[in-house]
Amino acid sequence: MTDLVNFEIMDSIGVITVNNPPVNALSVGVPQGIIDSVQAGTSDPSVKAMVLMGGGRSFIAGADINEFLTPPPAGSASLDDMISSFETSTKPIIAAIHGNALGGGLETALACHYRCGTADSLYGLPEVLIGILPGGQGTQRLPRVCGVEKALPLMVSGEFVPAPKALTLGIIDHVVENNLVEGAVAFAKQISAENRPLRKIREESVAPPAADFFDNFEKSIGKRARGYLAPYKIIECAKASVELPFDKGVEREKELFQDCLKSDQAKGLMNLFFAERACTKIPDVPRETPTKKIETASVLGAGTMGGGIAMNFINAGIPVTLLEANQEALDKGLEIIRKNYANTVKKGRLTQSDMDQRLGLITPTLSYEDIADTDIVVEAVFEEMEIKKEVFRKLDKVMKDDAILATNTSTLDVDEIASVTGRPEAVIGTHFFSPANVMKLLEIVRGAKTSKEVIATTMKLGKTIKKVPVLVGVCDGFVGNRMLARYSKQANLMILEGALPQEVDQALFDFGLAMGPFAMGDLAGLDVGWRIRKRRAEENGAFQDEAGLDDQICEMGRFGQKTSAGWYRYDPGSRVPIPDPKIEELIKKYCEERQIQRRPIEKEEIVERCMYALVNEGAKILEEGIALRASDIDVIYANGYGFPRYRAGPMLYADMVGLDKVYKTICSYHERFGEVWEPARLLKKLAEEGKSFSDI
């Protein structure tokens, strides 16, 4: 029919195949091609029924998300036009699904008269994940298929449902065991031979749920969906499916779809969708770069990070040898891993036999000989250059020639660590985030001499262990923590200028962050930074004549949640921060002693200073080539720092505010507060040229 859609007749069945790689999105031309094929099938007397399927790796994965960000010229056939063509067809149309039927793809299938799919196919309406809602009648059809109690959670979570469950839910009518085309054609022939009616889901009704269903559902998502627009609009659509006739429900869906589509949230989430895919592409390390096989791993250090890192490998089925400095630390580390899994089993998210199998993949050891043959070693020992160097000298001696030597350092120079080995090309940073078995972000630190093969392998491994790997360069704090230092500095300064920790945290929480810097500090443990500051002061030969406010808090034995007191106080066993008058007193006294005039600080100023501090440092990082793209920085913040996904990240946020405004404000801060606000050259240039970070 067109290059995008093919029509052929097989054994009296018209087979319509969408060929729009990679995922058969419903880009301009696809709906028209399908409409033309349906017409061809309807008007050909030899055709008894039609099968609609996807070519290549999948059925249709949804609307083309690019077309939401840059709408194509008006006039092309829409998803609704295509759906109408199914409904006016006099012959049965059967969707035949392999791979994924997602979003507009599932909506297409639900408009067909029958549906079949392979045993490994997946079904879902994941529009919510890009800030919109199913806008192709899906919110009205899915409740008619499986009931609104089951449909609503699927639409609000965007969950992918496997074929067997889809069959139980009534989303598909039949599972094809072997060849999809053959199975689907046979199914279509059977439907035609049995003269089955043309099932039209639009003509069915939705049974009303329990009276408190919608209220309870809304309450249940309160925490997860805080700040998001689309989940609540989807609830309204689901209500419409129960309360309104089909066509009226579809009208309501269209209005609510537009509300979502024109929101900044949709823009943020769609940009993040593409950013999370772009960050795996490295200009000078093309897709064809050879990679090493990673079948075994070893981890050095079974502390806070080492244990979590080991869990990532065994969760992906990669056996791990875990090496410690002494038996006691090894036993302690293993026990924590065991407890972590036991908790997951208790919560019903893992079976006991899976837990046993995973633990069986760990080999504990105290000997370097036992790790020599592993394909990658990740070092997670104490954060001290001399210790790291000693460890890497040993690794250089014992590890097999083609092993990758990775370090989880968070602050040290990867090149300096690599320099003690005779193979700096094999050395790379793998900066996991705590808790390493939970946090998605993995900064992969490229050293000056790291080989492309090692980079490509480590990026691929990141995906295998279900992380979001982002390539960064060597500098103090890499990308995420270097920017965070600027943000925390502003938060600390505002405490001295007049704000209280709870005011700063609340402003940033309301902006959408998972938590503010002071609650975060209490969670991570204030003593970690305090010890580093003390050590650095000693190393530099400096003596601390005056402790900062955060040091004073640690000197009081307040290390955060672990001591039930830090910037906040905590009731025993509770993680809920409670503002503490003792801290307010301490802050006021600290300011009085230094004759600092305190002033009220508005929420807007708090957010602006914290965000612009991130943005300015992010721009410097881009200028220096430490991050490849502004969108990589956003991926880092969305996956490692609790930045609200609906804002994508600090760099897109700045683009949306307008770089001209951001730059002018930073210049005014520069005048008012001094050097710390020196504007990034890149920011100045882009602002003056009227451009944004995404134009780079």
Q: Which is nearer to ligand NAI, 274 or 368 (CB)?
A: 368
> Residue 66 binds which entry of ligand NAI, ligand 3HC, none, with Cβ cut-offs from 5 to 8 Å by kind?
ligand 3HC
In the DSSP assignment, the letter for residue 51 is E
Q: Which is nearer to ligand 3HC, 135 or 306 (CB)?
A: 135
Q: At its nearest, how many Å lie between ligand 3HC and the CB of residue 329?
A: 38
Q: Which is nearer to ligand NAI, 350 or 372 (CB)?
A: 372
CA–CA distances in Å: residue 97 to residues 111, 122, 209, 359, 479: 14, 9, 30, 37, 42
- Residue sitting closest to ligand NAI (CB): 303
> Residue 679 binds which entry of ligand 3HC, ligand NAI, none, with Cβ cut-offs from 5 to 8 Å by kind?
none
589: alpha, beta or left? (left if phi > 0; alpha if psi -120 to 50): alpha
The β-bridge relationship of strands 441-446 and 468-473 is parallel
Q: At its nearest, how many Å lie between ligand 3HC and the CB of residue 22?
A: 4
Binding site for ligand 3HC (CB under 6 A): 22-23, 25, 61-66, 79, 100, 102-104, 107, 126-127, 130, 134-136, 138, 274, 277
> Residue 62 binds which entry of ligand NAI, ligand 3HC, none, with Cβ cut-offs from 5 to 8 Å by kind?
ligand 3HC
Among 39, 42, 280, 434, binds ligand NAI (CB under 6 A): 434
Among 28, 181, 282, 387, binds ligand NAI (CB under 6 A): 387
> Residue 535 binds which entry of ligand 3HC, ligand NAI, none, with Cβ cut-offs from 5 to 8 Å by kind?
none
Distance CA 382, CA 486 (A): 25
Among 381, 461, 468, 636, binds ligand NAI (CB under 6 A): 381
| 168-177 CB burial, b ≥16 within 10 A, e <16 | ebebbbbbbe
Among 83, 156, 261, 305, binds ligand NAI (CB under 6 A): 305
Does residue 37 belong to the site contacting ligand NAI (CB under 6 A)? Answer: no
Does residue 459 belong to the site contacting ligand NAI (CB under 6 A)? Answer: no
Give me 585's structure tokens.
């007193």
**Torsion 430-434-436-441 (CA) sign:** negative
Contact 124, 154 (CB under 8 A): yes
Q: Which is nearer to ligand 3HC, 225 or 322 (CB)?
A: 225
3-state secondary structure (DSSP) of residue 692: coil
Q: Which is nearer to ligand 3HC, 127 or 580 (CB)?
A: 127
Q: How many helices (H) and strands (E) does the chain have?
A: 29, 19
Q: At its nearest, how many Å lie between ligand NAI and the CB of residue 34?
A: 50
Q: Which is nearer to ligand 3HC, 47 or 172 (CB)?
A: 172
Does residue 336 belong to the site contacting ligand NAI (CB under 6 A)? Answer: no
Q: At its nearest, how many Å lie between ligand 3HC and the CB of residue 256?
A: 12
Give me 248's structure tokens.
């009226």
Does residue 428 belong to the site contacting ligand NAI (CB under 6 A)? Answer: no
Distance CA 241, CA 236 (A): 9
Does residue 409 belong to the site contacting ligand NAI (CB under 6 A)? Answer: yes
How many CB atoms lie under 10 A from the CB of residue 148?
A: 23
In the DSSP assignment, the letter for residue 647 is G
- Residues β-bridged to residue 469: 442
Q: Which is nearer to ligand 3HC, 142 or 311 (CB)?
A: 142
Does residue 527 belong to the site contacting ligand NAI (CB under 6 A)? Answer: no
Does residue 488 belong to the site contacting ligand NAI (CB under 6 A)? Answer: no
Half-sphere exposure in the Cβ direction for 176 (13 Å, CA): 22
Active site (annotated) includes residue 107: yes
Among 323, 445, 553, 613, binds ligand NAI (CB under 6 A): 323
Does residue 302 belong to the site contacting ligand NAI (CB under 6 A)? Answer: yes
Among 300, 378, 456, 519, binds ligand NAI (CB under 6 A): 300
Q: At its nearest, how many Å lie between ligand 3HC and the CB of residue 633?
A: 18
**Looking at beta carbons, which pairs linking 416-423 to residues 24 or more positions away fall under 8 Å?**
416/385, 416/389, 417/385, 417/388, 417/389, 417/392, 418/392, 418/447, 418/448, 418/449, 418/450, 420/389, 420/392, 420/393, 420/396, 421/392, 421/393, 421/395, 421/396, 422/396, 423/396
Q: Which residues are CB-neighbours of 329 under 8 A, at least 6 positions away?
A: 302, 303
In the DSSP assignment, the letter for residue 601 is -
Give me 47's structure tokens.
């055709």
Contact 446, 625 (CB under 8 A): no
Q: Which is nearer to ligand 3HC, 21 or 317 (CB)?
A: 21
> Residue 300 binds which entry of ligand NAI, ligand 3HC, none, with Cβ cut-offs from 5 to 8 Å by kind?
ligand NAI
Q: Which is nearer to ligand 3HC, 25 or 250 (CB)?
A: 25
| 36-70 CB burial, b ≥16 within 10 A, e <16 | bbbebbbeeeebbbbbbbbeeebbbbbbbbeebee
- Residues β-bridged to residue 94: 51, 114
Only one residue has tokens 């005039």, namely 597
Among 244, 316, 325, 523, binds ligand NAI (CB under 6 A): 325
Does residue 408 belong to the site contacting ligand NAI (CB under 6 A)? Answer: yes
Q: At its nearest, how many Å lie between ligand NAI and the CB of residue 342?
A: 20
Counting every residue written for the chain, the total comes to: 696
Which of 67, 87, 107, 416 is the catalytic position? 107
Give me 110's structure tokens.
């639900």
Cα 119 from chain centroid (whole Å): 27
Q: At its nearest, how many Å lie between ligand 3HC and the CB of residue 21?
A: 8
3-state secondary structure (DSSP) of residue 143: helix
Q: How would you write 508-542 as a 3-class SS string?
A: HHHHCCCCCHHHHHHHHCHHHHHHHHHHHHHHCCC
Q: Which is nearer to ligand NAI, 40 or 336 (CB)?
A: 336
> Residue 130 binds which entry of ligand 3HC, ligand NAI, none, with Cβ cut-offs from 5 to 8 Å by kind?
ligand 3HC
Q: Which is nearer to ligand 3HC, 23 or 461 (CB)?
A: 23
Which of 8, 67, 87, 127 is the catalytic position? 127
Distance CA 305, CA 310 (A): 9
CA–CA distances in Å: residue 76 to residues 11, 21, 73, 85, 488: 32, 20, 7, 15, 50
Q: At its nearest, how many Å lie between ligand NAI and the CB of residue 483?
A: 15
Amino acid (1-letter code) at residue 642:
G
How many CB atoms lie under 10 A from the CB of residue 582?
A: 12
Does residue 410 belong to the site contacting ligand NAI (CB under 6 A)? Answer: yes
Does residue 335 belong to the site contacting ligand NAI (CB under 6 A)? Answer: no
> Residue 387 binds which entry of ligand 3HC, ligand NAI, none, with Cβ cut-offs from 5 to 8 Å by kind?
ligand NAI
The residue ranges that bind ligand NAI (CB under 6 A) are 300-306, 323-325, 329, 380-383, 387, 391, 408-410, 432, 434
Task: Give catalytic residues, as residue numbers.
Answer: 107, 127
